[in-house]
Amino acid sequence: MLKVNNIEKSYGGQVIFEDISFAMSRGERLGLVGRNGHGKSTLFRLILGEETPDGGTISFPKYYRIGHLSQHIRFTEETVLKEAALSLQKSEDGIDETYKVETILTGLGLSEESFGLHPSALSGGYQIRLNLAKVLASDPNLLLLDEPTNYLDIVSVRWLQRFLRNWKNELVIITHDRDFMDSVTTHTMAIHRCMLKKVSGSTHKLYAQILQEEEIYEQTRVNDEKKRKETEKFINRFRASATKASAVQSRVKALDRMDKLDKLEEIRTLDFEFNPAPFPGKFLMEADGLSFGYDNGPLLIDGLKFSVGKKDRIAIIGKNGKGKTTLLNILAGEFNSTGGAVNRADNLKLAYFGQTNISRLNPDNTIEQEIMEAHPDYNRGAARRICGAMMFDRDKALKKIDVLSGGEKSRVLLGKLLVSPANMLLLDEPTNHLDMDSIDSLVSAIEEFSGAVVIVTHSEMILNSIANRLIIFDGGRVSLFEGTYQDFLDRIGWDGEAAETQKPETRGKNKGVNRKELRRLRADIVAEKFKVIGPLQKKMTEVEEEIVRMEEAVEKAEGGLAAASERGDSPAISKYSKERHEAKERIERLFEKLEALSREKDEKTMEFEQRLSDTE
């Protein structure tokens, strides 16, 4: 399969990759993670042959087909259906696989009415979906997907998730949605400090290992530095002593043999909190019989009624083009409703992050100027603090908006949200250009915010993390749901999703089974899952706790060894050396056991998820 050997890549003086290697086995689904700008998309271009490495090789078998989601729009066929079927591989038995293409197009949110349209008649987002449908239908040996969920709505994301879980060939995916990645991949690989780290398992497992390895590295570096200073002190003290000449020479040679470990450079991440404004009342906003429709078009919103309390976390969810952003614009006062009213409290202070707000940034301004113009009372020092929180420290704050990437512009918008106090945040897809670490920081900031939040998002991770109420666009209507996203999935679910998820040969399997019986069946599966997964998780926790104890034992032994070395106490040196060696060996065995348990847990979890999926 794919083999990457000793790849090096630099741009000017910036090193992207330094002697990296990895291989993929048959059927492996790999999640590629790393900070924005650290080389994920560069690695894709190298694999595709769009760029040439400075050193090393990339190889794969003869006739090995690689497919990727291209952002380049180029269509040659006269209809959407024909364009999607263009890359369809002919089946060996000659069976017409047009049904496969139709299923993929429908799953990605394209209606049957659009199948006969010319591809150019689609909006930009749906043209990207058509490109995605083409590469999925082509069934390549290796599928490369770079942020495939950015142009999808939540229903299409859920369909793509199920599709990729059943992908039989190799897959490498880049996505900022941690839960989506973990649900479809078998392995995870990080681009970290110009190197690669790959594990079998989830992003959580990978980052835990990286954190542990860097803690061990730093502890070793500190201990080595201490030993180096002690050795240098001994050499300087006894260099002139003839009786100590042999010992001094021995220490000099030992010092020469010691590798000097460099201190790890700090990798900055977003670290901020929203600035809450006080609110003495109960409700910040009330929508009373809200309706909206464009001229001569159907109503997107019809008679919607809800209130926003000061601790609410309301998520607006549904398919694209159904009115989610429109509703947010009405709440922000940027659109007027065609019916009903939005009643805002006197002390309401809104902060709005909109999808189109990036275009409102002044391209001639510096980042610092954008922050200062957002609030006239902000001085340069205060603006610089906000810039620093958004990872634009020192001279980076003087960069022009015009030269920033999409992700950097999103961080500028977030910075502008922090300038003025607010007791209600309106957030429209705020994570589209953020990496995983930045998204984690944003979610934490939302959780800590003492005011209300209304957010449009297609990320189920964010929904499960923060939402306690939902406004749902589904089945041609919009409604308020009191409960969490998981409550919605358990009680109602997305309109038509059950039929879409069934394979042709199993359709009708649950025909005649009512929703109550399906809920009971799902509850039984969940209970069984708890009985199986629970003990495995308990064992993993016990192993992790023992690893911590063994690491403490290593640290204690190293401390004792250092003290014994200073005293020249040979028996104690022998004792502590043995204890350290035994503890380290025990840690190695425990990690092997932990990996086996983690693999078993992942396999069992996937089995139960498949069984639950079969009941939808």
Residues 6+ apart with CB under 8 A from 472: 317, 318, 478, 479, 480, 481, 488
Quote the CA–CA distance of 150 and 428 in Å, as a whole number.
13
Give me the helix-helix angle, 570-614 and 154-165, nearest 10°. Answer: 110
C-beta of residue 350 within 8 angstroms of C-beta of residue 491: no
Which of 257-271, 394-408, 591-605 has the lowest average pLDDT?
Answer: 257-271
Over residues 64-85, mean pLDDT: 88
Q: Please state the rounded mean pLDDT for residues 559-570.
A: 87
Clarify whether residues 480 and 540 are in a common domain.
no
Region of poorest pLDDT, from 61-70, 251-260, 520-529 = 520-529
- State the burial class of residue 533 (Cβ atoms within 10 Å of its Cβ: 0-12, 13-18, 19+): middle
338 part of a folded domain:
yes
Least Cα distance to 48 among 70, 27, 26 occurs for 70
Q: What is the pLDDT of residue 505?
A: 42
Of 207, 240, 261, the residue that ends a domain is: 207
**Domain span holding position 548:** 515-614
CB 493 within 8 A of CB 615: no
pLDDT at residue 141, rounded to an integer: 94
| pLDDT at 320 exceeding the cut of 50 | yes
Nearest to 351 by CA among 291, 277, 296, 408: 277
Of the two residues 471 and 377, the one the predictor is more confident about is 471
Better-scored residue on pLDDT, 158 or 217: 158
Highest-scoring range by mean pLDDT, 96-105, 419-428, 495-504, 519-528: 419-428
Based on the domain organization, do 415 and 520 belong to the same domain? no
Minimum mean pLDDT range among 164-178, 225-239, 268-282, 328-342: 225-239
More confident residue, 224 or 397: 397
Task: Give the pLDDT mean for 289-310.
Answer: 89
Percent of the chain beyond pLDDT 90? Answer: 35
User: Quick one: pLDDT band at residue 515, thresholds 50, 70, 90?
Assistant: low
- CATH code of the domain in which 41 resides: 3.40.50.300
Q: Is residue 35 part of a domain?
A: yes
Q: Using an 8 Å Cβ cutoff, are 31 and 185 in contact?
A: yes
Confidence band for 89, pLDDT divided at 50, 70 and 90: low
Nearest-angstrom CA–CA distance, 22 and 28: 13
Task: Tell me, letter by letter, the H, E, C secondary structure of 357-381.
Answer: HHHHCCCCCEHHHHHHHCCCCCCHH
Residue 506 pLDDT > 60: no
Among candidate residues 488, 424, 431, the one with its CA nearest the CA of residue 456: 431
Q: Residue 301 forms beta bridges with which residues?
A: 292
Report residue 145 as tokens: 């997907």
Select the more confidently predicted residue: 259 or 60. Answer: 60
pLDDT tier for residue 355 given thresholds of 50, 70 and 90:
low
Give pLDDT tens digits for 115-157: 999 999 998 888 999 999 999 999 999 999 999 998 899 999 9
Who has greater pLDDT, 250 or 365? Answer: 365
Least confident of 112-126, 240-254, 466-480, 512-526: 512-526
Q: Is the pLDDT of residue 184 over 80?
A: yes
Residues 466 and 366 in one domain: yes
Q: What is the mean pLDDT of residues 322-329?
A: 91
Radius of gyration of the chain, Cα coordinates, nearest whole angstrom: 29
Co-location of 399 and 292 in the same domain: yes
pLDDT at residue 376 greater than cutoff 70: no
Q: How much is the pLDDT for 471?
A: 95
Calculate mean pLDDT across residues 573-600.
86
Residue 475 sits in the same domain as residue 531: no
The average pLDDT across 251-258 equals 73
The answer, yes or no, to whether residue 92 has pLDDT greater than 70, is no
Q: Which amino acid is it at 67?
A: G
Q: What is the pLDDT of residue 467?
A: 93
Q: Which of 42-51, 53-62, 374-383, 530-539 has the lowest mean pLDDT?
A: 374-383
Tell me, yes or no, whether 478 and 377 share the same domain. yes
**Do 524 and 434 lie in a common domain?**
no
What mean pLDDT is predicted for residues 203-222? Answer: 86
pLDDT for 23 beyond 70: yes
Residue 368 lies in a domain: yes
SS3 content of the chain, % helix, strand, coil (to 5): 50, 20, 30
Separation of CA 572 from chain center: 49
| Position 481 pLDDT exceeds 60 | yes
Structure tokens given for 290: 């809200």
In a domain, 459, yes or no: yes
Do 375 and 523 reside in the same domain of the chain?
no
Tell me how many domains the chain contains. 3
Q: 534 and 479 share a domain?
A: no
Residue 90 CB partners (closer than 8 Å, separation 6+): none
| pLDDT, averaged across the chain | 84
Residues 428 and 303 in one domain: yes
Domain assignment present for residue 236? The answer is no
Range of weakest confidence among 62-71, 124-133, 532-541: 532-541
pLDDT of residue 502: 43
Share above pLDDT 70 across residues of the chain, in percent, rounded to a whole number: 90
Final residue belonging to a domain, choices 207, 237, 252: 207
Within-domain flag for 454: yes
Task: Examine the pLDDT at 19 and tell me if it is beyond 60.
Answer: yes
- Does 306 fall in a domain? yes
Q: How confident is the model at residue 526 (pLDDT cuts 50, 70, 90)?
A: low
Both 550 and 609 in a single domain? yes
| Least-confidence region, from 48-52, 138-142, 346-350, 376-380 | 376-380
Long-range contact set of residues 227-234: C-beta below 8 Å, sequence gap at least 24:
227/258, 227/562, 228/255, 228/258, 228/260, 230/566, 231/255, 231/258
pLDDT category of residue 5 using cuts at 50, 70 and 90: very high
Nearest to 318 by CA among 307, 310, 308, 327: 327
444 and 297 within one domain: yes
CA-to-CA distance for 362 and 177, rounded, in angstroms? 30
Single residue among 173, 207, 241 that ends a domain in this structure:
207
Give domain status of residue 473, yes or no. Answer: yes
Q: How would you classify the pairing of strands 283-293 and 299-309?
A: antiparallel
DSSP 122: S
User: Would the pLDDT of 616 be above 80?
Assistant: no
535: confidence class by pLDDT, cuts 50, 70, 90? confident
Predicted local confidence at residue 503, as pLDDT:
42
